[in-house]
């Protein structure tokens, strides 16, 4: 139909859509997949330099599958949601072992890979293989929730089911690659979360939310709950050579698998930190130098980080080199680090008095 959603979107895309993003240069399954994972809950402008650096280091699925995990996490450091990077490498290894290095052009087989859900699998099929598959990322949810005035938070099962039905219904049989990019672009550029430019929208005619003058109502927001507050000492132990102690975090949970500064319970006073470091890390230290604390917010709680620097006088106990390292700051920055740790290690610091 000439006035269908797909037709209007494609006409708009031909004039206004984004056609020169880095992952458009060679739209093979590997590049599409990496870009889709990076773009989950992350803005395009943030992703672009990460994608380019990642492709330079890991140009194909075999290189990624064989790389040291620290190298993968290091190239992801700063993007957040680090489980994405760990699953990315696990999926690469599965593609190499189970599919002989070739991504399957099958929805179910793609969804069986770690970290790939229904929408990401569909994006790979549509963008890389040009097969008809409906996508439903955050931008698309917003466009469809407004166009059809679907009430409620998309994280709710019934709301998601409705949005998937609409996504399937509007997905055309032709120009599938352009259509999936078009509807994502519309959500990113026009039908934005705040201050949508409805008068430039090709879907204004027929948009239920616009007709009701209630665009801001859709999609519904996630029910808010107060986030718990937690506090921790983040310890910068520095030896005479200027090396700092890093510990690898457990593979699951917050910052899973990343290298981080040691932490101590907030119940310790500043005067107790030197003894606590000796007890916990097997090193004798000077008294702690306390700097300004700051708050880091996760999806489900706020963490108040109180940094403390201590000069090591004696002892360099390393029980397990795979989980504990003394490294120079420049060396540390090549590892996968949580953003707050990277900030602390790159902040100018005066020499500690021994």
Q: Tell me the sheet residues that pair with 284.
A: 314
Cα distance between residue 183 and residue 189, in whole Å: 10
Classify residue 246 by burial, with Cβ atoms within 10 Å: 0-12, 13-18, 19+. buried
Contact call for residues 80 and 339 (beta carbons, < 8 A):
yes
Report the DSSP pairing between strands 229-238 and 302-314. parallel
**DSSP states of 195-208 as a string?**
S--GGG-TT-TT-H
Active-site residue, from 36, 98, 111, 278: 36
Contact call for residues 340 and 254 (beta carbons, < 8 A):
no
Cα distance between residue 120 and residue 116, in whole Å: 6
Catalytic status, residue 168: no
Q: Tell me the sheet residues that pair with 304.
A: 231, 295
Query: Which residues are designated catalytic?
Result: 36
């Amino acid at each position: 139909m000439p006035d269908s959603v797909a037709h209007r979107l494609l006409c708009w895309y031909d004039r206004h859509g984004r056609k020169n993003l880095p992952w458009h240069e060679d739209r093979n399954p590997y590049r599409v997949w990496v870009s889709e994972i990076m773009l989950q809950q992350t803005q395009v402008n943030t992703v672009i330099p990460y994608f380019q650096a990642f492709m330079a280091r890991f140009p194909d699925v075999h290189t990624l599958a064989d790389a040291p995990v620290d190298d993968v996490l290091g190239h992801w450091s700063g993007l957040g949601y680090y489980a994405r990077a760990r699953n990315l490498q696990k999926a690469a290894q599965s593609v190499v072992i189970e599919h002989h290095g070739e991504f399957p052009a099958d929805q179910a087989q793609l969804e069986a890979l770690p970290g790939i859900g229904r929408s990401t699998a569909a994006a790979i099929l549509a963008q890389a293989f040009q097969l008809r598959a409906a996508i439903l990322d955050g931008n698309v949810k917003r466009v469809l929730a407004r166009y059809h005035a679907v009430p409620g938070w998309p994280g709710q099962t019934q709301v998601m089911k409705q949005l998937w039905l609409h996504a399937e219904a509007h997905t055309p049989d032709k120009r599938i690659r352009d259509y999936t990019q078009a509807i994502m672009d519309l959500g990113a550029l026009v039908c934005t979360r705040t201050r949508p430019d409805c008068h430039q929208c090709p879907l204004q005619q027929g948009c239920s939310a616009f007709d009701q003058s209630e665009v801001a109502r859709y999609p519904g927001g996630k029910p808010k709950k107060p986030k718990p507050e937690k506090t921790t000492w983040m310890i910068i132990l520095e030896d005479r050579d200027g090396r700092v102690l890093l510990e690898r975090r457990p593979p699951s949970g917050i910052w899973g698998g990343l290298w981080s500064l040691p932490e101590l319970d907030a119940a310790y006073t500043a005067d107790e930190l030197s003894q606590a470091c000796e007890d916990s890390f097997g090193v004798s230290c000077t008294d702690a130098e306390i700097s300004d604390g700051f708050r880091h917010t996760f999806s489900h709680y706020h963490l108040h980080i109180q940094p403390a620097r201590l000069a090591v006088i004696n002892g360099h106990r390393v029980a397990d080199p795979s989980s504990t390292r003394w490294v120079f700051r420049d060396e540390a920055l090549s590892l996968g680090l949580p953003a707050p740790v990277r900030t602390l290690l790159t902040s100018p610091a005066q020499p500690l008095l021994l």
